[in-house]
Amino acid sequence: EMFGQLTSGLESAWSKLKGEEVLTKENIAEPMRDIRRALLEADVSLPVVRRFVQAVSDQAVGVGVIRGVKPDQQLVKIVNDELVKLMGGEVSELTFAKSGPTVILLAGLQGVGKTTVCAKLANYLKKLGKTSMLVAGDVYRPAAIDQLVILGEQVKVPVYTAGTDTKPSEIARQGLVEAKKKNIDVVIMDTAGRLQIDKGMMDELKEVKRVLNPTEVLLVVDAMTGQEAAALVTTFNVEIGITGAILTKLDGDSRGGAALSVKEVSGKPIKLVGRGERMEDLEPFYPDRMAGRILGMGDVLSFVEKAQEVMKQEDAEDLQKKIMSAKFDFNDFLKQTRAVARMGSMTRVLGMIPGMGKVTPAQIREAEKSLKIMEAMIEVMTPEEKEKPELLAESSTRRKRVAQESGKTEQQVSQLVAQLFQMRVRMKNLMGVMEGGSIPALNN
Ligand code: GDP
C-alpha cells in the first residue's frame, strides 16, 4: 500500500506519547527517534531527515497546550505541517505559454514510465480543455515510437513521428511547426531514455531544449527509486535546467522517500504523479493530501485545527469581555499594540488598505521604536501592576520605580499609563458602552 511502511513507522512515535499531559524536551526524545528511523527507512536522505527532525522538535517543545488536545495529537499536527512544507507547501501547477503552443519537454531514464506519461499527460490536458500533440523523439528504440503511436490512439491525440533516422532536435523542430499549423495547445515531446545518464543523452536534451524553447522541462522519475530519484532531479536540473518532476509508480511505493525528498534536495517541485497504469492515473501533486495520506489521520488533523481556531476565538472573546468590563490591562495593551504594529508593517508591505498607502517607512520605524519603549516599561512592571493599572495611576513611587528599572523617564511612564486609560475609554466607546470610562488623574 502507498506509503504503508512509513505510516506504520510513524505510528509508533505517537504511541509513545499516550498518557502524557504536555510535550516536553524529555518525552519527545523517543518519538523523535521513531520519526527519524521511519524517515530513514522510507529512504529520505540523511540531511533532509536531520533538518526535518530538528524543525519538528523545535516546534514540539515550544508549542502551547491547547485545551482538549492531547500531546500525541499535537505532534501529529506538527509533523503533518512540516511534511507539507517539505514537499513544497502548495501544489505546483503546470505553466502554459501566453501565446502559441505550450511546449512540454519530457526526459527520463528508461523504464521509469516516460512513454506512458506522454499519453497520460495528453489525457489529463484534455480534461483541462486543451488539445495536445505527442512528438516521438526516442529514435534509439523503434519500439518506443510504436508504443507512443498506440498510446496516442488510445487517448485520441495526434502523434508526430519521423522515424529513427532523423535527429531528435530536427524531429522537435518539425513537430513544433506541425503543431502550430494545427493550432494545437500543447506539444509534448518525448525524448530518448537511456539506462543511465550519459553525456550523449545530456547533449541531445540540451539541443532539443534549445530548438523547442519549452515552457516546461519535466523529468520523469520512478518513486520506487527513493532518494535516488531526488538525486536524478538535481543532476538533470544542473545539467539542462528543468522546471519540475513527474513522479511515477507512486501506487507501488510503500516507502515515500522520493515524494518527500525531491523538492528539498533539488529545489524543483514535483508537479504531477502517476498512480497506476491506466491513462487516468496521472494527477497533480498535492503536498497536503500526500502528508494526510502518509499520516493516515485526517480526523486528528481536522480536530486539532478546529481546537486551534476555538482557542483564537476564545482569545478574542476574552479580550472583548475585558474591554467591556474595564479590565483591559497592560498585558492586553501589549498584545493589542503588538498586533497593531504587525498589521501596520503588513499593510505597508501589501499596500492593501485604501487610504493607508501613505504610511512611510519612517512612520513604521517610529511606531516600532515606540512599541519597544512601551515593551521595556511594561516588562519591569510587577504582575499586579500589569493587571491593575490603577496601582500605577495612584502611586508616583511605583511610576518612578518602573522608570528607573526600564531606563525611561517618569514622564514616559505617566504617558503610558494615561494612554492605557485612554485606550480603555476609546474601546468602550467603540463598543457603544459609554458609562464608567473616565480617565483617572494621576495622583502624586
Ligand atoms: P519508459 O521506458 O520510461 O518509456 O517506460 P514506460 O512508459 O514504457 O513504462 C514502463 C512500465 O511502467 C510499463 O509497464 C508501465 O505500464 C509502467 N508504469 C508507468 N507508470 C506507472 C505508474 O504510475 N504505476 C504503475 N503501477 N506502473 C506504471
Q: How does residue 248 score in pLDDT terms, banded at 50, 70 and 90? A: very high
Q: What is the pLDDT of residue 100?
A: 86
354 has pLDDT over 50: no
Q: Which three cell numbers, joined as nine digits, stand for 47? A: 540531511
CATH number at residue 135: 3.40.50.300
More confident residue, 321 or 115: 115
**ipTM higher than threshold 0.90:** yes
317 in a domain, yes or no?
Answer: no
- Please give the pLDDT value at position 431: 57
Give the domain extent around 13.
Answer: 4-89
Judged on CB neighbours under 10 Å (0-12, 13-18, 19+), 385 is buried
User: Which atom belonging to ligand 1 lies closest to the Cα atom of 144?
Assistant: 4
Torsion sign over Cα 87, 88, 93, 94:
negative
Q: Whose CA is nearest to atom 22 of ligand 1?
A: 249
Q: Assess whether 130 and 164 both reside in one domain.
A: yes
Query: Of ligand 1's atoms, which has the minimum distance to the CA of residue 117?
Result: 7
Task: Please give the residue that has the higher pLDDT: either 52 or 19.
Answer: 52
Note whether 262 and 233 are within 8 A (CB): yes
User: Which of 120, 277, 280 most suits a substitution to test ligand 1, by most atoms within 8 Å of the C-beta?
Assistant: 277
**Ligand 1 pocket member 108 (CB < 6 A):** yes
**Pocket of ligand 1 contains residue 9 by CB under 6 Å:** no
Task: Determine the average pLDDT of the residues in 228-239.
Answer: 96
Residue closest by Cα to atom 17 of ligand 1: 113
Shared domain for 114 and 74, answered yes or no, is no
Please tell me whether residues 259 and 355 are part of one structural domain: no
Lowest-confidence pick of 115-124, 372-381, 425-434? 425-434
Task: For Cα atoms 35, 37, 38, give the angle at the middle one, nearest 5 degrees.
Answer: 65
**Vertex 336: Cα angle to 334 and 342 (nearest 5):** 100
| CB 111 less than 6 A from any atom of ligand 1 | yes
Alpha helices in 241-273 (DSSP H): 257-266
Last residue of a domain, which of 89, 111, 132? 89
The Cα–Cα gap between 245 and 187 comes to 17
- Cβ of 114 below 6 Å from ligand 1: yes
> Which of 260, 285, 310 is the last residue before a domain boundary?
285
Asked if residues 226 and 46 have their Cβ atoms less than 8 Å apart, the reply is no
pLDDT at 344 over 70: no
Atom 11 (ligand 1) nearest CA: 113
Sorting pLDDT into bands at 50, 70 and 90, what band is 193? Answer: confident
- Element of type H or E holding 80: helix 71-86
Could you tell me the distance, in angstroms and rounded to a whole number, from the CA of residue 10 to the centre of ligand 1? 29
Atom of ligand 1 nearest to the CA of 273: 23
Residues 65 and 127 occupy one common structural domain: no
Ligand 1 proximity of 248 Cβ (cutoff 6 Å): yes
Q: Which atom of ligand 1 is nearest to the CA of 111?
A: 2
For ligand 1, whether the C-beta of 137 sits within 6 Å is no
Using CA atoms, how far apart are residues 328 and 323, in angstroms rounded to an integer? 5
Q: Are residues 355 and 237 in the same domain?
A: no
pLDDT in tens, 310-338: 777 777 677 667 666 667 788 888 887 77
Q: CA nearest 255: which of 105, 50, 441, 40? A: 40
- Indicate which residue's Cα is closest to atom 9 of ligand 1: 113
Q: If you measure from the C-alpha of residue 279 to the centroid of ligand 1, how many angstroms do you get, rounded to a whole number?
A: 11
Kindly report the backbone phi and psi dihedral angles of residue 65, in degrees, each rounded to the nearest multiple of 5, phi listed first: -75, 135
CA-proximal residue: ligand 1, atom 13 (nearest): 113
Q: Which of 116, 138, 280 to mutate to test the pocket of ligand 1 (most atoms within 8 A of CB)?
A: 116
What are the backbone angles phi and psi of residue 131, rounded to the nearest 5°? -85, 150
The reported pLDDT for the residue numbered 151 is 97
For ligand 1, say whether the CB of 112 is within 6 Å of any of its atoms. yes
Do 130 and 269 belong to one domain? yes
- Structural domain includes residue 264: yes
Would 438 be classed as within a structural domain? no
Strands, DSSP E only, in 194-285?
A: 216-222, 244-248, 270-274, 282-284
The verdict on residue 294 lying in a domain is: no
Phi, psi (deg, nearest 5) at residue 270: -80, 120
Assign 360 a pLDDT band (cuts: 50, 70, 90).
low
Q: Is the pLDDT of residue 265 over 80?
A: yes
Number of domains in the chain: 3
- β-bridge pairing 270-274 and 186-191: unpaired
Amino acid at 290: M
Q: What does DSSP assign to residue 21?
A: S
Q: Is the pLDDT of residue 204 over 50?
A: yes
Whether residue 260 is found in the same domain as residue 186: yes
Burial of 376 (0-12, 13-18, 19+ CB in 10 A): middle
Residues 263 and 392 in one domain: no
Residue 40 sits in a domain whose CATH number is 1.20.120.140
| Residue 193 beta carbon below 6 angstroms from any ligand 1 atom | yes
Are 419 and 396 members of one domain?
yes
Q: Ligand 1 in contact with 283 (CB < 6 A)?
A: no
Cell reading at 365: 520605524
Is there an atom of ligand 1 within 6 Å of 261 CB?
no
Q: Is the CB of 146 under 6 A from ligand 1?
A: no
Q: Are residues 141 and 198 in the same domain?
A: yes
Q: Are residues 126 and 159 in the same domain?
A: yes
User: Cα separation of 349 and 329, whole Å?
Assistant: 30
Q: Is 249 in the pocket of ligand 1 (CB under 6 A)?
A: yes
Residue 115 falls within a domain, yes or no?
yes
Asked whether residue 59 carries a pLDDT value surpassing 60, the answer given is yes
Looking at residue 340, its pLDDT comes to: 63
Three-state DSSP at 357 gives coil
- Ligand 1 centre distance from Cα of residue 113 (Å): 3
* Domain-embedded: residue 359: yes
For residue 269, being part of any structural domain is answered with yes
Residue 428 pLDDT: 66
What tens digit of pLDDT does each residue of 274-312 get?
Answer: 999 999 999 999 999 999 888 887 777 777 777 777 777
Give yes or no for residue 191 CB within 6 A of ligand 1.
no
Alpha-carbon gap, residue 302 to 313, rounded angstroms = 16
Q: For residue 240, is it within any domain?
A: yes
* Centre of ligand 1 from the C-alpha of residue 226, in Å: 16
Relative to the CA of 281, which ligand 1 atom is closest? 23
276 touches ligand 1 (CB under 6 Å): yes
Q: What is the pLDDT of residue 368?
A: 77
Rounded Cα distance between 422 and 123, Å, is 65
pTM above 0.80, yes or no: no
Residue 123 has pLDDT above 90, yes or no: yes
Q: How far is the CA of 277 from the centre of ligand 1 (A)?
A: 7
Between the CA of 439 and the centroid of ligand 1 the distance, in Å, is 77
Q: How many residues would you count in the chain?
A: 444
Assess whether 210 and 333 both reside in one domain.
no
Percent of the chain with pLDDT over 70: 88
